[in-house]
Structure 1
Amino acid sequence: MEKETYDYIIVGAGSAGCVMADRLSEDGKHSVLVIEAGGKDRNIWIHIPLGYGRTFFNRNVNWMFETEPQPGMQGRRIAQPRGKVVGGSSSINGLLYVRGQKEDYDGWHDLGNEGWRYEDVLPLFRRSEDQQRGENAWHGVKGPLPVSSLREPHLIADAFIEAGVAAGIPRNDDFNGAEQEGIGHFQATARNGLRKSTARTFLARALRRGNVTLATEARVTRILFDGLHADAVVFRRDGRDITVRARCEIVVAAGAIQSPQILQLSGVGPGSLLKRHGIDVVKDLGGVGANLQDHLQARLLFETRGKITINDDLASFARQIKMGLDYALFRKGPLGWWAGLAGAFIRTRPDLTRPDVQFHLYPFSTDRKDRPELHPFSAFTLTVCQLRPYSRGEVTIQSSDPLAAPLINPRYLTDPRDGQTIAVGLRVARLVAQTQPLAKLIKCERDPGPDVQSDEDLLSFLKAKAMSVYHPVGTCMMGHGPDAVVDDKLRVHGVSGLRVADASIMPTLISGNTNAPSIMIGEKASDLLREAQSQNNLRAAS
């Protein structure tokens, strides 16, 4: 591979990178190299939906990053798992398919990003999708990405939805349809009891073509520039550095943590930071690594009156055998479930025009540690997540060593409005739990417990126990202001031949889980790259 040249080089085989590999190779006219730091997705737990509980803590497929100590969280380091495998985080995430709200994308447009309104990106969502329920104005059925509903009812999830409706939350059977607000079941990127990552969908079909090359266990160390033009990528594999060149463009799609890291190591970023680490400045862009946003969640744990949770399934050898047989024979049961069987999107204040909090219902409970274990009692978890946090952080290199993890500092809860919003969300979640028919399934609230009631106590609970939902975005912000990194065509400001296409380009965090929007960004980037190539061909012909 040394000194080879490709039309397009994609750095990262994650949610967006796999999409671009597929779309850019469709016509068979262009060669595409995809460089992935992780290995192939051979681990069986990647493909079993409930296996995310194992991949979240497996260093073979997960970077297992941690934040810097967070002053707003009692100095705790907060886990930041990221996929280190083909498929990226789409191979280890909780599988939920949530696009966000119409206003999220319209807001990007209002910031000056042409072509990113909801009406512009909806066709891209539909193009990707193979919706189990069928086609309509919001959903497609012929795309490579299966989106499915849970194959069986669940006692706690159904009771949660009924209780929410009784408590005044409207029923919503499609969070990705006309409106997001309401309570209902989540859909997921799964089909027939198997995870459908972008590696198993988009990239798999791309690799069947002869013009796509995948390099795994290949750690990108820097991008090389000829003046201000990006023309090559250096990656380390089997202990040696390999240089590959791009005829058309290089696209960085390494995610919100590693895309800014790669740019900074390559001389594109805050000049003072780069000089401090002895890196030659190619382009002084202060916004590279800034604008980090992430979803923070608080977890309510409820002990149940009966043995109706996964805690009980895994505590019993007989029930484990049944789980295995149900999955092996029918692709049903807990092994086929995803992270959050049901959920809700609610408004914490009557003056709001759209939801600002999301609930996730998990039919198990655990303390999140390096190797978490399910509680020995029967319990489920109800999480409360603020959708649009005000706090902002940053990602920066800590040295010029490309193999050193970057410094991740989300600055959780530095804006007091974040804690206030989650506290109100906790009160609403408790109201649902106290409403029938869910209330009759609950023996007691185990955490934080009934004694934690005041705003001050709830905030203390957040600081002591809150954790990330693992949705970092924004560190290569799209826009046209002084802090922007890419323009609305995803081209890095001030240089040529280089784009960024992943969750890092989001100017603001979308209102929900980030995998589906990242896939959409891959679709959008593919269109932009093909459009640019067509224009180049026309100019060459004239």
Structure 2
Amino acid sequence: MQFDYIIIGAGSAGNVLATRLTEDPNTTVLLLEAGGPDYRFDFRTQMPAALAYPLQGKRYNWAYETEPEPYMNNRRMECGRGKGLGGSSLINGMCYIRGNAMDLDNWAKEPGLEHWSYLDCLPYYRKAETRDIGPNDYHGGDGPVSVTTPKPGNNPLFEAMVEAGVQAGYPRTDDLNGYQQEGFGPMDRTVTPQGRRASTARGYLDQARGRPNLTIRTHALTDHIIFAGKRAVGVEWLEGESTIPSKATANKEVLLCAGAIASPQILQRSGVGNPELLRQFDIPVVHDLPGVGENLQDHLEMYLQYECKEPVSLYPALQWWNQPKIGAEWAVRRHRHRRQQPVRSGRFYPQPRRVRLAEHSVPLPAGGD
């Protein structure tokens, strides 16, 4: 098989690339995804309030674990990554938060990154989204990703969190992606007007599925990238239960979009990485690049438990006798169930040495109200 481009990984990056590249009918693209389709009738990936369910098991989640962390009492930390069309946008918390403008402007000071300033990126942020309350100078109105804003009737816990920040002396902001990001305020979410998760499979790939110049292979686990010298020219993968590798060549480029963990794994299996590590596994060295597979940094999720004075938490939604009713109401009146999404407020505030901290509130129940 021969294509102009081969994309490894149908996630948040791969689906965008596949959709954009195949807008040219003369360009052929092969999109490889190790997971399965994004089953539209599976509430676990489609119902925003059910966001904890796809993280359970390994149908939609690679469920990685870290090595023992020496500064965390040698604990192994869970590290979920999405598996299936949509990638991690199929299982994430649906928070829609852009990069901080100061970070982007600092990038633009580096040689070769001059066009990565906030003002350079803003048109593309706007182009990507359709905001439910309409476009403005900071938001788009006809993009592929549906973005919803919190509506009146928000959970009082979120409103209390924002008000607590204001009482502590921090500013209030009505739009964490707008003119003033710093402060406490409501958080936009990638949810459709019909109350479904707006993954990149729904937002981008749905536009391209029927194009004759796009070939999608699911359950296709990439083994390695084929190199001619130091140029990537193809991919070998295992499809389904087969033990016989499939192979395709790329006339132009191989685009590696398998995520922060799987991408360096694939590079290492292909001979790109630290030579000492590669030789331990008898992998021929294509390119000596020790940084591959190292230096990963990720944020922590921490839990603080408080007792509610009133029955205002999401605890009733976790009771099994309430779940069928909630699911049925979502199926019939999805737009009303956007209110049940756990992540609703966030905050950005400055720290010394130009660090900008970002947090969000998830009032998950740990017991009865």
| TM bucket, shorter chain | over 0.9
- For residues 84-138 of structure 1, give each alpha carbon's deviation from its aligned partner in whole angstroms, at most 9, with x where no partner exists: 1110000000000001201222222333342322222222211111122222222
Letter in structure 1 aligned against 2:154? P
Residue 346 of structure 2: SS of its match in structure 1? strand
Give the Å deviation of 1:303: 1.3
**Correspondence for 2:201:** 199
Aligned length: 362
**Correspondence for 2:186:** 185
Equivalent in 289, 293, 297 of residue 293 of structure 1: 297
Question: Is residue 6–residue 33 contact of structure 1 (8 Å, CA) maintained in 2?
Answer: yes
Question: Is residue 150–residue 337 contact of structure 1 (8 Å, CA) maintained in 2?
Answer: no
Give the Å deviation of 1:252: 0.2
TM-score by length of 1: 0.64
1:338 corresponds to 2:341: yes
Letter in structure 2 aligned against 1:324? G
Letter in structure 2 aligned against 1:268? V
Question: Is residue 195–residue 337 contact of structure 2 (8 Å, CA) maintained in 1?
Answer: no
Instruction: Measure, in 2, the Cα distance between the counterparts of 1:139 and 1:305.
Output: 38
Question: Is residue 95–residue 190 contact of structure 1 (8 Å, CA) maintained in 2?
Answer: yes
Instruction: Measure, in 2, the Cα distance between the counterparts of 1:68 and 1:333.
Output: 42
The 5 Å alignment of 1:194-273 reads 194-237=196-239, 238-239=241-242, 240-273=244-277
Extract unaligned runs of 5+ from structure 1: 366-374, 379-542
The 5 Å alignment of 1:399-418 reads none
Letter in structure 2 aligned against 1:40? P
Instruction: Measure, in 1, the Cα distance between the counterparts of 2:342 and 2:320.
Output: 22
Equivalent in 308, 313, 333 of residue 312 of structure 2: 308
Question: Is residue 324–residue 335 contact of structure 1 (8 Å, CA) maintained in 2?
Answer: no
Give the Å deviation of 1:298: 2.3
Question: Is residue 172–residue 182 contact of structure 1 (8 Å, CA) maintained in 2?
Answer: yes
The 5 Å alignment of 1:114-513 reads 114=113, 115-151=115-151, 152-191=153-192, 192-237=194-239, 238-239=241-242, 240-315=244-319, 317=321, 319-320=322-323, 322-331=325-334, 337-348=340-351, 351=352, 356-365=356-365, 375-378=366-369
Residue 299 of structure 1: SS of its match in structure 2? coil
Give the Å deviation of 1:271: 1.6
Question: Is residue 158–residue 345 contact of structure 2 (8 Å, CA) maintained in 1?
Answer: yes
Instruction: Measure, in 1, the Cα distance between the counterparts of 2:83 and 2:323.
Output: 29
Question: Is residue 51–residue 92 contact of structure 2 (8 Å, CA) maintained in 1?
Answer: yes
Instruction: Measure, in 1, the Cα distance between the counterparts of 2:216 and 2:44.
Output: 22
TM-score by length of 2: 0.93
Q: Cα 1:268–1:364, aligned 2, differ >3 Å: closer, same or farther?
A: same
Instruction: Measure, in 2, the Cα distance between the counterparts of 1:58 and 1:108.
Output: 38
Give the Å deviation of 1:164: 1.9
- For residues 207-231 of structure 1, give each alpha carbon's deviation from its aligned partner in whole angstroms, at most 9, with x where no partner exists: 1211111000000000111122211
Instruction: Measure, in 2, the Cα distance between the counterparts of 1:307 and 1:339.
Output: 15
Instruction: Measure, in 2, the Cα distance between the counterparts of 1:246 and 1:311.
Output: 51
Q: Cα 1:175–1:352, aligned 2, differ >3 Å: closer, same or farther?
A: farther
Equivalent in 26, 29, 34 of residue 29 of structure 1: 26
**Which one is further off, 244-253 or 355-364?**
355-364
Instruction: Measure, in 2, the Cα distance between the counterparts of 1:335 and 1:182.
Output: 24
Give the Å deviation of 1:300: 1.1
Instruction: Measure, in 2, the Cα distance between the counterparts of 1:338 and 1:23.
Output: 31
Instruction: Measure, in 1, the Cα distance between the counterparts of 2:323 and 2:310.
Output: 17
Question: Is residue 100–residue 180 contact of structure 1 (8 Å, CA) maintained in 2?
Answer: no
Instruction: Measure, in 2, the Cα distance between the counterparts of 1:335 and 1:157.
Output: 14
Letter in structure 2 aligned against 1:253? C
**Correspondence for 2:51:** 52
Name the % identity.
40
- Structure 1 stretches (4+) deviating beyond 3 angstroms? 319-322, 332-339
**Correspondence for 2:62:** 63
Give the Å deviation of 1:23: 0.3
**Correspondence for 1:478:** none
Instruction: Measure, in 1, the Cα distance between the counterparts of 2:294 and 2:323.
Output: 46
Question: Is residue 49–residue 336 contact of structure 1 (8 Å, CA) maintained in 2?
Answer: no
